[in-house]
Chain A
Amino acid sequence: MRDWLILGVGTLLFGLLALSGDTYLLRLGTMLAMYAVLAMSWNFIGGMTGYPSFATAAFFGLGAYTSAILQAAQMPMAVGWAAAGLVAGGFALLIGLPILRLKGHYFAIASLSIGEILREVVNTSEEITGGGMGMNLPLLRLPPEVQAQAFYLCMLGLAVLTTAVAILVHHGRLGFAFRCIEQNEDAATVLGVDTRTFKTAAFGLSAVFSGVAGAIYGNWVHYIEPLDVFDIMHSVKPLVMVLLGGLGTLFGPIFGAIVFLALEEAVWRNFLGVHAAVLGVLIVAMVLFLPRGLATSFEQIARRFRGKAA
């Protein structure tokens, strides 16, 4: 109940931001919503279930291309977006069955290679995807501020949907099974947890919303290319956000996304030349000093204060 309230209030507050005509603010907001979607998506498989996936970029890129290809064939944007989620999710279920047999580093590497393979496929299928040249997406005949508002609201809507699903999963059987697998997969199996099915479900969940995010992103920036949408950073960033916010927690990934975006913006503005290095150092420092994530650390601090007051 409390979680739904937080979601409601959050939606309202972030929704109001759309009224602002400031395109910079709206761009940041759209990025934030996208980051939150990717972080929560990764949290299903990486945080809750404990399988360190580097496949987020693969799902993001697959969604972006699915939608772009359909729109190039004169399909409406909405159809492209929905198809992006279905294709990414379906692809994850198929590919998940074999690679989720692997554990730890082996799984991480296998999941990483999925994006690389998809990028090669896109690169070589020039007739459909334009290859390395990328694809243009239809321009909307709307004033720039209105477009900025519209894409912000769409990405926000996706973030709200992802959060709602995360709440349901977190409190339900599915999330319970994910956590059992994360804690001790062998013990979970002999307690009757069908680990293969649940792991695959977690992987599928992590793909669906990432795929739709990629599709919305494509329309937002009007142009996609393999190097951009299959960029490994789309896999690394969500992982860092979840580590920052709290592995396996419900709202931690959103926290992490906010902190990460703030860091990224601040560093990007002030250390233009060396921003990647500075960002890297900051992230390592934060993960080292707050190993259980910001959300968990806040909770601990709050508890300590309450303890003193009592």
Chain B
Amino acid sequence: MSALLTLDGVSRSFGGLRAVDNVSLEIAPGEIVGLIGPNGAGKSTLINVVSGVHPATAGRVVFDGRDITRAKPHAIARGGVARTFQVVQPFPNMTVRENIAAGGAFAGRIASLKQAMQEAGELAAGVGLGDLVDQPANTLTLARRKRLELAKSLAMKPKLLFLDEVNAGLNPAEIDDALALIRRIAEQGVTIVLVEHLMKVVVGISERIVVLQNGALIADDTPEAVLNNQKVIEAYLGKKYAAALSAEGGGP
């Protein structure tokens, strides 16, 4: 198996803080991987490292056979890595169509702007924003902004897609829609790394789960194994509760 993404001893420090601490990890083409961990565990930072927004301060990142540890974010994007932002980052005064077309025109290498705009319309319809293509992005609700964020990254025609809490703040019905959408994207052959707080959501969709705590990787296994992993339970619940829980013989 040749991995699509390889992290080799990757760290990222902010001043004295090691937000990502010596993480080694491989992701194979076509996988759906859940990336979980408590608040501040370093999940978003890991995405920032791979996408070049906050490059690694140690270690090596190899994507699709190329060392991208020091590559510029735009080059990494053009190489096939897309990511959504946990705090959505639309172009506020541009229309939904223009927002999406930017991904197609610049990372998706669509030569003609007209064609990028046209494909953006189709992608907008695909994420349920078909009626809103000509609305400025700043008029959208949070749930729709999250879908816009998704459509923008899809327009980039990525090989690897990081989704940073695209379900946060959505109601259960919206989450079901979003999950169905993510499955459809995966079926098209896009490798997906899903950062998520809601355990149910991750377990339902991921084939494999990676757990971070204080920047370090503490588990990398199937969903069932991770759910029963003592370290993971402790990380989420604290040692005392975890001990009490295992005494009762249950999982989280």
Contact = CB atoms under 8 A, between A and B. Distances in A.
- Secondary structure dominating the interface of A: helix
Contacts of A180: 91, 94, 102, 106
B93 interface: yes
Interface in B44-79: 51-53, 72-75, 77-78
A173 B105 contact: yes
Interface string A167-196: 000011100110110011011111111110
Given A187-B89, A192-B106, A193-B106, A176 B74 contact: no
B113 A191 contact: no
A172 B113 contact: yes
Contacts of A186: 53, 89
Contact of A190 (B51, B90, B108, B113): B51
Given A190-B73, A191-B77, A183 B92 contact: yes
B106 A184 contact: no
B107 interface: yes
Contacts of A195: 74
Interface of A: 171-173, 176-177, 179-180, 183-184, 186-195
Interface residues of B, number: 29
Given A184-B89, A186-B53, A186-B89, A191 B94 contact: no
Contacts of B106: 177, 180, 188, 191-194
Contacts of A189: 53, 72-74, 77
Contacts, number: 70
A186 B82 CA distance: 13
B74 A187 contact: no
Interface in B86-139: 89-94, 98, 101-103, 105-108, 113
Contact of B53 (A184, A190, A193): A190
Given A184-B89, A187-B85, A193-B74, A179 B94 contact: yes
A191 B53 CA distance: 12
B52 to A, nearest CB: 8
B36 interface: no
B91 A192 contact: no
A183 B85 CA distance: 16
Contacts of B90: 184, 187
23 contacts: A173-B113, A176-B101, A176-B113, A183-B91, A183-B92, A183-B94, A184-B91, A184-B92, A187-B90, A188-B91, A189-B53, A189-B73, A190-B83, A191-B102, A191-B106, A191-B152, A192-B77, A192-B78, A192-B103, A192-B106, A192-B108, A192-B156, A194-B75
Contacts of B53: 186, 189-190
